[in-house]
């Protein structure tokens, strides 16, 4: 089992928010991280790619600029 306290979101594979169509289609927990390395949002989804097609935080996070999803 993974110990959640040992996960560093900054070291996870990520894609820019603008390339969210590249996200996996498998169940996962994901992090929205800004350019300063601050986690702005944590979510979970059965299909992250589909989830981010119409995510309710998309516009808010887009306004921050440089956000990536890990």
Q: Is the pLDDT of residue 52 over 90?
A: no
Q: Where are the domains of the chain?
A: 12-69
Full DSSP string of 30-57: EEEE-TTS-EEEEEEES-HHHHTTS-TT
Question: Phi-psi bin for 69: left (phi > 0), alpha (psi -120 to 50), beta?
Answer: beta
Is the model's pTM score more than 0.75? Answer: yes
Q: Which of 17, 3, 6, 20 is nearest to 65 (CA)?
A: 17
Average pLDDT of the chain, as a whole number: 90
Whether 15 contacts 68, CB under 8 Å: yes
Q: What are 16-44's pLDDT values in tens digits?
A: 999 989 999 999 999 999 999 999 999 99
């Amino acid at each position: 089992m993974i110990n959640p306290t040992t996960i560093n979101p900054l070291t996870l594979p990520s894609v820019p928010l603008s390339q969210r169509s590249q996200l996996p289609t498998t169940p996962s927990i994901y992090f929205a991280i800004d350019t300063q390395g601050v986690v702005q949002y944590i979510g979970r989804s059965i299909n992250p790619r589909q989830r981010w097609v119409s995510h309710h935080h998309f516009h808010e996070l887009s306004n921050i600029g440089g956000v990536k999803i890990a």
